[in-house]
Structure 1
C-alpha cells in the first residue's frame, strides 16, 4: 500500500489517498484524470480532471450504481490519451472494484479474470466480500447491457485490441507470480504469512491453553489449610446428598449437620466443628481469624428431638374409669 500507484492497463492506474496527493508521482505517470472514491472525496489539484464519489468501504455500500458513470469518465479520458488514477484510501477495495468493473466492461473478461489483471499490477488489490458479490451480480445481470452501451457511445475501437492483448499478458504474469508464491488469491490460512499482505494472518495473541484440572494434585500436594478446590471436599458431601456450594466467602462441605454454617469472609484457613450430640461435623474453608475463633467458640448445633404433643384441654377429662362415665 505504500509503494506508490500501480499501472494495470495503459493509461489506467490504481493507488491510495497518499498517491493522489503526491505531485511527483502524478507528474511521473502523467496523470490527467483522477477518480476519487472514498468517504471524503474532494478535488485536491486544480489542474486535474476529477470525478469524486462519496462511498464507504462497507460490504453494504452499493457501488454498482456508479459503474456506468465511472466507465464513461475512465474510457473517455483514455480515448483522448489521458492517464487516469483511481484511488480510495488504501487502494485495496473501492478503487479496485471500480477498476475491475471497467475492465470487464471494455473486454470480454469475467470479473474474476479482471480482478487477476488488477492484482498482477497491484498485489494488494482485495475488494471486500460485499463488493465481490456486486461484481458477480454485475456480470450476471448488467454486464451485457453495459458493454452494448459503451460500444454505442464510444464506437472507436482504438483501445479494444490493445486492452485485450495487455490483459492476456497480465493474466500470464499473474499465473507466474502465483506459481512463485509472490502473490495469492486471498486464501492464505490463518497463521501463514501472506506474500502480498492481503490475507488475514494469525493474531499476535496466542490462544489460551486449557490447564488440566488441579483438584487431584492439590489434594495430594497442598497443605490442609490451602485446599480450596471444590473437588477436594466432594467425597464427604456426596455421602450426605448435599452438593458443596462455592461463593466468594469460601467453600463448604457438610457431613451430617442439618444446618449450614454462617458464611464468613474469604481467607485461607480451615475450621472443623463437631456436634457432640448429633455426631455430625462441619468444615469451613476460608474465614478470618475472628471468624475462626467465633466458629470454634460457638456452641454446636443441638440435635433435633421429636416434638412433644401439646397438653390437653383443661376442660376435658382425659381419665377414664372402668365401666363408664363418672
Structure 2
C-alpha cells in the first residue's frame, strides 16, 4: 500500500486550510496564513491555543463513525470564519480522513459538486487525502439526500456568498488534470445543480 505523507497544511479554498495535528500547534504557520479558527476532529479533540476559536469534534477514524451528524455545524464554522475574512484550519491527526471528509462536505455545499469531484479537488492540493470507506459512503449518501438541502439552507442563512468557490475548484481540477494528463472534459463528472 502506498502511503502519501503531507507535511504542511495547504489551502483548499481562500481562507480554508487542511492539515494535521502538528499543523494546528504551529503558531508561526497559523499566523502567516491569518488563521483564527481551528476545526479539530479526532479522538481527543480539544482546544490547544488560547488565541484561537475552536470547534472540537471527538470522532474516531473508523468506517462506522457517523460524521454526517457533524456536517452542519462544521459547514457553519468554516463558512462563518471565511465570511469574516479569517482563515480556518480543519485538521484531524494525519489530515487524511476525518478532516478531509468535513472539507469535502463543505465544498459540496458551497459549489454543488458531487463528492468524488470535491475529493479530487482536495487531492489536487493534498495528495494524501483519503477518507476511509465508511466516510466515502457517508459523503455519497450526503450527496444523494442532503447536499441540496444544505445548499438551500446556506443560501438562506448567509444570503449572498462573496466567494467564487466553484471557479476556484474548477481551476484546481484543471491544474490537476493538466499535471496528470487527464482531458479537461473528464474532470467534472459528478456535478450537482447549484442553481434553484
The question of a shared fold, defined as TM-score above 0.5 by the shorter chain, is answered with yes
* Mapped partners of 2:74, 2:6: distance in 1: 25
The reply on whether 1:122 has 2:126 as its aligned counterpart is yes
Uncovered stretches (5+) of structure 2, i.e. residues with no partner:
183-196
Uncovered stretches (5+) of structure 1, i.e. residues with no partner:
181-326
Corresponding residue number in structure 2 for 1:261: none
TM norm structure 2: 0.88
SS of equivalent residue, structure 2 residue 146: helix
CA displacement 1:223-254 (0-9 Å, x = unmatched):
xxxxxxxxxxxxxxxxxxxxxxxxxxxxxxxx
What's the RMSD between the two structures over aligned residues?
A: 1.1
Of 64, 67, 75, 2:71 maps to 67
Corresponding residue number in structure 1 for 2:32: 28
Whether the 8 Å CA contact 2:12–2:122 is kept in 1: the answer is yes
Whether the 8 Å CA contact 2:6–2:128 is kept in 1: the answer is no
Report the CA distance between 1:178 and its aligned residue.
2.5
Report the CA distance between 1:78 and its aligned residue.
0.4
Report the CA distance between 1:174 and its aligned residue.
1.8
* Mapped partners of 2:140, 2:108: distance in 1: 11
* Mapped partners of 2:7, 2:63: distance in 1: 26
Report the CA distance between 1:136 and its aligned residue.
0.2
SS of equivalent residue, structure 1 residue 58: coil
What does residue range 298-309 of structure 1 map to in structure 2 within 5 Å? none
What does residue range 3-152 of structure 1 map to in structure 2 within 5 Å? 3-152=7-156
The reply on whether 1:177 has 2:179 as its aligned counterpart is yes
* Mapped partners of 1:166, 1:2: distance in 2: 21
RCO (CA 8 Å, sep 6+): is it higher in 1 or 2?
A: 2
Q: Which one has a larger percent helix, Structure 1 or Structure 2?
A: 2
Corresponding residue number in structure 1 for 2:167: 165
- Bigger radius of gyration among the two: 1
* Mapped partners of 1:114, 1:149: distance in 2: 19
How many pairs are equivalent?
178
